[in-house]
Amino acid sequence: MIQPISITSIASISALGSTQKEIWQNYLVNKHFLVEKKVHYKTVFVGQLSEENQQKITLLRKSDSKYRNLDDAVLFAIFVAREAVKNSNWKSENNFGINFGSSRGATSLFEKYHQEFLETQKSSTLSSPTTTLGNISSWVAHDLQTSGPEISHSVTCSTALHSLLNGVAWINSGMSEKFLVGGSEASLTNFTIAQMQALKVYAKHNAELDLVSVNTKNQFPCKSFDLKKKQNTMVLGEGAAAICLEKGIVKNALAMIAGVGFATEVLVHNTSISADAKCFQKSMKMALGQISKEEIDVIVMHAPGTIKGDQSEVNAIKKVFDNKKPFLTTTKWKLGHTFGASGMLSLELGLFMLQHQQVIEVPFAVKQTHPKKIKNVIINAVGFGGNAVSILLTAN
């Protein structure tokens, strides 16, 4: 880090809600927000938007004739971008940069247009412009009427935090003083879920599932950060999140970005990382910079709910922090794995804990000692192939 960078607002939409008050309240209750969905005549768990929030996206789609042919991933991004910019009181004339990423992009539309092609051997007129990856940031820029740079990219599940890395780099370069960064994912399609099932990482849905419950009404399909689980329990979710970055220390900052780290492992398998997640070890050490590891209070883990994924990240944390492990938590047991948006939704939880000075426990994980004060929080994300990012947040 060359200079301090402030986070002046955050906005999100997910299974947990679409307002900061609602989302924090849903973190405080000891239950998940996953629901059942029919896929290929079978029932699976997913983290989808509530009916109320789906209606908000529908209203956004109907608000402009040009938006009616856009994928939900684009509309999610527009929705959270509007909220984040409004909360930071940015104006279009500020010409701030925009970087939205997505692991899958316009998934639903791509599948729809491809199916039409298979059936008719013809492609719809809008099939190309509405499914390109750059489609997301360009439409956000159109909606906000800014002329700053627009960047879209995909780095699988660490995409949103790579957006943050880009924003930090632009600000540090002196080419921009403000950057809107985020991730968006609308991945709850039959084909996408089938892909995860083919990898044998998706949570099973049957009477033989070994579900843990706090009470008889609250079971946990996704056991992210349960190191005793006997099977993979990843559940897909949908959503988006965005933050506003500003150069320097500003009065309305929610928190400061005190360090960033990134690393990529040499591929052994298309989906694998090493048993002790060397990529996470490197990214966390880089994010720490000159800050002592003893000063880290909380880590919001990537923890996708898979046996190897969860354990390798914990192993990496033990390697870096020795016997003084920070408090560990994660989001995916509550809202599912939102692929390219997941890192920013994890960062949102980190901001909440800094703001409210309260950690969020994973109810079925081993009990941990709560930090007396929360000042420094690390956010982790990693994607297929071991492309890890770690972000160090510190209280303003």
Fold assignment, 258-394 = Peroxisomal Thiolase; Chain A, domain 1 (3.40.47)
Distances (CA, A) of 106 to 51, 70, 166, 229: 21, 8, 22, 33
pLDDT, mean of residues 147-169: 95
Task: Looking at 36-177, list the stretches that DSSP marks H as alpha helix, in order from N- to C-terminal side.
Answer: 51-62, 72-88, 107-120, 135-144, 159-173
- Look at residue 133 in the predicted model and tell me its pLDDT: 84
pLDDT tens digits along 236-293: 999 999 999 999 999 999 999 999 999 998 766 555 678 899 999 999 999 999 999 9
CATH number given to 5-247 = 3.40.47.10
pLDDT at residue 269 in the model: 58
Q: CA 81 → CA 11, 13, 30, distances in Å?
A: 7, 11, 29
Q: Of residues 271 and 375, which shows the higher confidence score? A: 375
Distance, in Å, from the CA atom of 179 to the CA atom of 164, rounded to the nearest integer, reads: 9
Poorest-confidence range of 169-173, 189-193, 211-215, 290-294? Answer: 211-215
Structure confidence at residue 218 as a pLDDT band (50, 70, 90): very low
183-210: pLDDT as tens digits? 999 999 999 999 999 999 999 986 335 4
Question: Most confidently modeled of 36-45, 92-101, 177-186?
Answer: 177-186
User: Mean pLDDT in the chain?
Assistant: 93
Q: φ, ψ for residue 292 (rounded to 5)? A: -65, 140
pLDDT: which is higher, 23 or 147: 23
pTM (2 decimals)?
0.95
- The C-alpha atoms of residue 340 and residue 346 are separated, in whole angstroms, by 11
Q: For position 239, what pLDDT does the model report? A: 98
pLDDT band at 217 (very low <50, low <70, confident <90, very high): very low
49-103 pLDDT tens trace: 999 999 999 999 999 999 999 999 999 999 999 999 999 999 988 889 999 999 9
Q: What is the mean pLDDT of residues 42-53?
A: 96
Cα distance between residue 61 and residue 67, in whole Å: 5
**Mean pLDDT in residue range 335-343:** 98
Provide the percentage of residues in the chain whose pLDDT is more than 90.
86
Domain ranges in the chain with CATH number 3.40.47.10: 5-247, 258-394
| pLDDT attached to residue 267 | 67
pLDDT at 2 over 90: no
